[in-house]
A = this chain, B = another copy of it.
Amino acid sequence: MEVQIAVAKINKYATSESGDTLEIVERPNGGLSVVLADGQTSGRGAKAISLMVVRKVIGLLAEGVRDGAAARAASDTLFTERQGRVISTLNIASVDLHSRTIVLTRNNPAPMFICLDDRIDIIDEESIPLGTSRNVRPVITEIAIQPGLTVVIFTDGIPHAGERRGNPMNISQVIHSLMEDQDPGPQALADSLLEHAVRLDENRPADDISVLVLKVALRDGDNVRRLSVRLPIEGRLWT
């Protein structure tokens, strides 16, 4: 088998810093975790918050702390520092080679989608962002690593796309139609969902948007781990 992860990420229109931060860390007992946070508001303040949350979570995961405990710790730290005045969403997608499961940790009102064979489940159990109060608990979903599994996670730039123009996205319908294609790759899925959102905002995204797709595929032959990054650079600074 092979786990394939793809991310597509764009800034709010005319904003030089994204309030969304995404990083990947190796798990000390095998596998890796992708950590995605979206800090309240946009621009530099939001970036500082989401960076803080991601760094806190990554540091704890690297020490072997479990995903749920890392999310709670980040929430407590944020609440202690900001007393509920600043919040952040958090999603963690972990490939845990010890338990041989995908562990999905969610502190985000935005839903996520789990596709297995022809079935598409929407995970929209109530979930509140980090830093809102003491004792914030994450919603955790654990699934065996198996070929045919696809998980789609995003920040609120996706559900908010087109809203101001009274034309929001039917996310479930878009994901169903994308999954109908013959075995779509994770990058194609992430790119298409992002593109759809940007189009609804008439090419001027009203918010930072990040889409993360994790897919388990049958092996394609070699034992090589691969990672690739594409970072567009504007004439002006762009982070």
Contact = CB atoms under 8 A, between A and B. Distances in A.
Residue among A28, A222, A227 facing the most chain B CB atoms (10 A cut-off): A227
A51 B32 CA distance: 13
Given A25-B23, A225-B8, A227-B7, A30 B237 contact: yes
A239 B62 contact: no
A26 B98 CA distance: 28
A11 B223 contact: yes
Number of copies: 2
A145 B65 CA distance: 38
A64 to B, nearest CB: 11
A88 to B, nearest CB: 15
Contacts of A1: 232-233
A224 B51 contact: no
A7 B231 CA distance: 15
Contact of A228 (B5, B25, B233): B5
A136 interface: no
Nearest to A95: B231
Interface of A: 1-11, 21-32, 51, 55, 59, 62, 95, 97-98, 145, 186-187, 190-191, 194, 219, 222-234, 237-239
29 contacts: A4-B229, A4-B230, A4-B231, A5-B229, A5-B230, A5-B231, A6-B228, A7-B226, A9-B225, A9-B227, A10-B223, A10-B225, A11-B223, A21-B26, A24-B227, A27-B239, A28-B51, A30-B237, A31-B239, A32-B229, A95-B231, A187-B228, A222-B232, A224-B232, A225-B229, A225-B230, A226-B228, A227-B230, A228-B228
